[in-house]
Structure 1
């Protein structure tokens, strides 16, 4: 009865939000168009490729690293000396790339330290299995780069075998589960980082924690709704994760925009859109240009200090790096603490983890995941 009165009371807070207001949409789309039109000018101070320090001491996992931004990220990290794990669905393609890079690198120094491991983000069971195999090594992990993503054009909703809308699962749920289950290894890394390759499109995204699959009918599903919403959910989840991680874990959480990049994420775009992409090369980044904000986020020495400062704010947000490798703020909607906390709780439910999983993982305890048992 108390719950019913609170829901119908005249003192109830503002009506439940069901989408972005027109002012928020105008602001959001202005950010998108600004990035598209001016990203090359804004990034003109950056070298291409981005110079990297020696990374011999780092172990990095890069998802989706057989094409596009992930491929360039993995190659450049390896050439700088890092041990790079290519976490991919197609390990055959990854092994072929590794052999190609080794041949091209021959004579320039020590062989590149690369390996491939199978990971299918459309299967949460695959995520659990990958984490079990990696954590069993008891090795430190210094940088986790959640790079893989999809933007599947079309009005038809597609669902994973786990029952989740594919944008939601690949862009948000699977990376969230991966980040949490790899915490034991990230803690061993000391001053480690979780890097989420996000998108300026999160500025026009909206998340209803009670309808993250967008199946209630209150909102019409489109690929844009699925993609932008999944990217916003990732930022919100990252905000809460940064706040909840104890300072002594020394783990930084970063989201970033790579810019508007011509990659395989756009492979499902209609042919006429792909042709338009090809006709405007000045505005579109190459994968080598698009990976610069990822590499900056993974290697810049000031990132941990910046994350610690943000953690102490009243309205905590994770570090967000723009395509020109500068600190910026995520969208206005991403600052909604109440919604972010609800997204956190709903995400934990959807990925099959208990609400106290973060605390238990930090303490080194075994956590039962609905999609398999996670073991340190």
Structure 2
């Protein structure tokens, strides 16, 4: 049984990855793998204790089957808020070993699709990938703004390989159109970064044109549909990655398959609940996708926390809260700092090894990377495989895909989607 993982990296080391056994501690160690960036040290502690070597004591992933409950037990809820507060107070200290910006290798010929990349973390992620030579596909709603950004980047005198494609995550029909247009090219996708997300702080409950609560649609359903429909292109780019920008706020989320749209009346809607629940749903769905993707497909699924970042979410706050938000810059990361975990998850060679190790050990959750580019233990609730399977099944139903969609897509078969617009 795997007791723990310790991954270490040094800039000066160029030897390939190798696993060794530490007989004294029963810890499997990769002492000096090649890494991107500055000296980096990452650990995942004893899975049974569910502890990390940082300031956050994580919950024990003890439930293998679902337990009927209407919300988080108070102890899990308290642990979740402890994790959030610890990340807020100590995230700069925990990430002090990282360079800013995070150094990237040449990415010429590597295709990245990044959603929601005209502002905030997504903008910085896209800019740095473009500057590193990647073939960048900006999947955005505001295409005019994206073209303006490209012109600005080109003014810096660096040749870019960037294109813009329209997608509106508030519309599942738009997601299907995007995926069909890309797949029709028969070109590979090496990394899909599902960056786009919303957090409508203090706003009343709203619904998309598809009838879904906006947080669950943008933060989970649309990203899940896009990831699945791009499976053929991701297989062409194998080894490839699906990178989901998640949040530490998932620690206080609670989601049930029948209440995912927050219309059942069992739990009162708040924007905070909508956001946290959608992020937990994303981890649960991603974990089942991670487990069900066959090794020969060569697709790795990763979720990450960018930290607590100063982005456009502040525009939804009241004027008094906006003032306070900008008076605490030391604690809050800027977008350049916040995008480091996205870049790490999308480019670092260790991610593939880490993903394969967790799959081999039948870890119940997909790889989760913290804002400090270290492996992290997702919330206790995310380890509940029974509810994760139900979230998987319900998600397929809500996005209009058959239950065997993944298997068919991996096998190269056509899959019909309820939101596919048939050409007349």
TM-score, reference length from structure 1: 0.93
The match for 1:59 is 111
SS of the counterpart of 2:243? strand
The match for 2:214 is 166
5 Å-filtered alignment, 1:76-91, equals 76-91=128-143
The match for 1:359 is 407
Q: 1:205 aligned to 247, 253, 263, which one?
A: 253
Gaps of at least 5 residues in structure 2 are 1-64
Distance 1:155 1:83, change over 3 A: closer
SS of the counterpart of 1:259? coil
Instruction: Say yes or no: does 1:222 pair with 2:270.
Output: yes
Q: How far, CA to CA, are the matches of 2:325 and 2:92 in structure 1?
A: 15
Deviation (angstroms), 1:342: 0.2
Distance 1:350 1:14, change over 3 A: closer
SS of the counterpart of 2:259? coil
Distance 1:144 1:14, change over 3 A: closer
Deviation (angstroms), 1:373: 5.8
The match for 2:226 is 178
Instruction: Say yes or no: does 1:74 pair with 2:126.
Output: yes
Report the structure, 1 or 2, having the larger helix content. Answer: 1
Q: How far, CA to CA, are the matches of 1:374 and 1:29 in structure 2?
A: 46
SS of the counterpart of 1:195? strand
The match for 2:87 is 35
The match for 1:136 is 184
Deviation string 1:95-133 (CA, Å, 9 cap, x unpaired) is: 0000110112x1x5xx11111110000000000000000
Deviation string 1:283-341 (CA, Å, 9 cap, x unpaired) is: 01000000000000001101011111111334421110000000111100000000000
Instruction: Say yes or no: does 1:368 pair with 2:416.
Output: yes
Gaps of at least 5 residues in structure 1 are 1-12
RMSD of aligned alpha carbons:
1.4
The match for 2:57 is none
Distance 1:174 1:22, change over 3 A: same
The match for 2:100 is 48
The match for 2:155 is 103
Q: How far, CA to CA, are the matches of 1:292 and 1:126 in structure 2?
A: 29
Distance 1:329 1:374, change over 3 A: farther
Deviation (angstroms), 1:153: 1.5
Q: How far, CA to CA, are the matches of 2:329 and 2:153 in structure 1?
A: 26
